[in-house]
A and B are shown apart, each in its own frame.
Chain A
Amino acid sequence: MIEATALTKRYGATTAVNELTFTAQSGRVTGFLGPNGAGKSTTMRLILGLDSPDAGRVLVDGVPYRQLKDPLRTVGAMLDATWRHPGRSGRDHLRWLAATNGIPDKRVEEVLALVGLTSVGKTRVLQYSLGMQQRLGIAAAMLGDPRVLLFDEPVNGLDPEGMAWIRQLLHALAAEGRTVFVSSHLLPEMAQTAQDLVVIGRGRLIYQGTMEDFVAQTSEHGVRVRTPHADRLRAALSGQAEFTEAGGAFVVSGLDSDRIGQLAFDAGATLHELSPITGSLEQAYLDLTRDAVEFAVPSPEASR
């Protein structure tokens, strides 16, 4: 479990993370969603004790990260697949990392096999494709068989096959009871992966809850109606439904399009348009985070 409480991080005049409070439960895939520069990577670094918060705290399984003994055995993370020396082989990269926490070399072979890199273990990383680098990053995260896993934009730049592979892996890890915390700036990808959601914008919490609630809350339905006989339609709808009206176009909520069509017909109003508005998840997300993007300033996350 990851618990952040009023977490705040400033870089100079920029507040990258602002009073952020959220939890990520064990046994669930928690999506960490926000536009680029919202503070996702900064939050990840704060969780891992790489950066120090200016205020607030974040606990991993009840303990601040820096107090963990052999932290790789509790928390595995892939913040950036490019965090490795290009001249070193994938196996050597995992070997030194394993040695830091007294993890045996045998485990290195296991995680290489887990991500399907056994055959290229001795190849220098600079010859790895993006997908292979991503797999190596996941192997590194899995070294200590950790209860908590953090992935920052794990599907960035992957082909559909790679995306599906990661999605299945994340689900499997959560099903084993682990805490899986995965960030993305793409909602559609998250919608297929995450069970819970933490949405942030400009370093602040916008939403925390289940994916289902998020979808239900944000995909409000309505029907768009255009008519040259606005008066007749207005009279017909009055008392029947809520509606807003602008320039001869109505947006009606609380009635489905069949019923509205019947009402309009009965009132003698000609309809030029009668179209249900299905709120897309992506639109809901964009609406939620629009303010967060509009005034966004380049954060350290973007410049690093």
Chain B
Amino acid sequence: MNLLAVERIKLFSTRSPWWCALITLALALGFAAIFASAQSADTPVTLSATLFGGTQFGIAVVMVLAALAVTTEYRFNTIRTTFQAVPHRSPALVAKAIVLAVVALVLGELAAFGALGLGMLMRPNDGLGLHSSQDWMNVAGLGPVFAISAVLAVALGVLIRHSAGAIALLLIYYLAVEELVQLIPKIGHTIHEWMPFNVANKFLRGSAVIDGDGGGPAPSDSPLSPGWALAYFAGIAIVFLLVALGVAKKRDA
């Protein structure tokens, strides 16, 4: 419990997490507002379009937040002081992953429900709302996906240690690599089905293929059920975290 308090104090006593949180919410609400105001009145705005900012860019910013929470510790050597105080190291890093997961979860829920609320306010006649369990999953599911993404980013931050390197890798992977993999002949499509963020998208969007042309990303081609998709995504994050813990424990601080 002490260590959770430690990581909470660390996170909230510097400015960058606040900025990242603010940007995440601004993106989620901003895109919701753009779609709501830009779409012509006779085409209804869809739920996935309303959530576009959070699902596409919010995740990226949350991962930046989480990665920075680790890499700035390496940058300013507070990681050494931390390991000096917690010589077994892993408990401190696990606590950091938990705190960031919780913060990301809260941010995800705020972003998703905030965007939905804004969309309903601006387009009261488009039938936006939580009408089905699928709708609930789309909206409330953003929190868990944010949380798992944050854990993934913490693990990569520990492994790479440099802010610029970690962020560049995370963003390039998230924004480009998974899509580009599909260009590989023959096996590209199969690989893509198992790429973590594509699978996470399956959890968020379900198998709903018909979503109108109201914007938003293409649905996931993952063969997993939404529940298993979330488990798979979480499993990958945990594997990365375990590798990071092992490396951090052996490495000279």
Check: A85 CB closer than 8 A to any chain B CB: yes
Check: A52 CB closer than 8 A to any chain B CB: yes
Check: A296 CB closer than 8 A to any chain B CB: no
Report the minimum CB–CB distance from B185 to chain A (whole Å): 42
Binary contact readout A87-128 vs B (1 if CB under 8 angstroms, 0 otherwise): 111001001110111100000000000000000000000000
- Measured between beta carbons, the chain B residues less than 8 angstroms from A50 are 80, 83-84, 252-253
Contacts A85-B76, A99-B9 given: A71-B87 contact, CB under 8 Å? Answer: yes
Number of A-B contacts (CB under 8 A): 79
- Measured between beta carbons, the chain B residues less than 8 angstroms from A52 are 250, 252
Instruction: Check if B81 sits within 8 Å of A83, measured CB to CB.
Output: yes
Check: B92 CB closer than 8 A to any chain A CB: yes
- Measured between beta carbons, the chain A residues less than 8 angstroms from B83 are 49-50
Check: B43 CB closer than 8 A to any chain A CB: no
Check: A84 CB closer than 8 A to any chain B CB: yes
Q: Which of A71, A85, A89, A101 has the most CB of B within 10 A?
A: A85
Interface residues in A37-74 by Cβ distance below 8 A to B read 45, 48-52, 65-66, 68, 71-72
Segment from B10-18, B116-124, B162-170 that makes contact with A: B10-18
Check: B90 CB closer than 8 A to any chain A CB: no
Contacts A85-B76, A99-B6 given: A45-B85 contact, CB under 8 Å? Answer: no
Interface residues in A274-303 by Cβ distance below 8 A to B read none
- Measured between beta carbons, the chain B residues less than 8 angstroms from A88 are 10, 13-14
Complex A-B, nearest 10 residue pairs according to Cβ-Cβ distance, in ascending order: A100-B85, A92-B13, A83-B77, A51-B252, A66-B87, A96-B9, A50-B253, A99-B6, A87-B14, A85-B76
Listed in ascending order, the chain B residues whose CB lies under 8 Å from chain A are: 2-3, 5-6, 9-10, 13-16, 72-73, 76-78, 80-88, 92, 250, 252-253
Told that A82-B77, A95-B13 touch, could you supply 10 new A-B pairs with CB distance under 8 A?
A49-B87, A50-B84, A66-B88, A83-B78, A83-B80, A84-B76, A84-B78, A85-B73, A101-B85, A102-B2
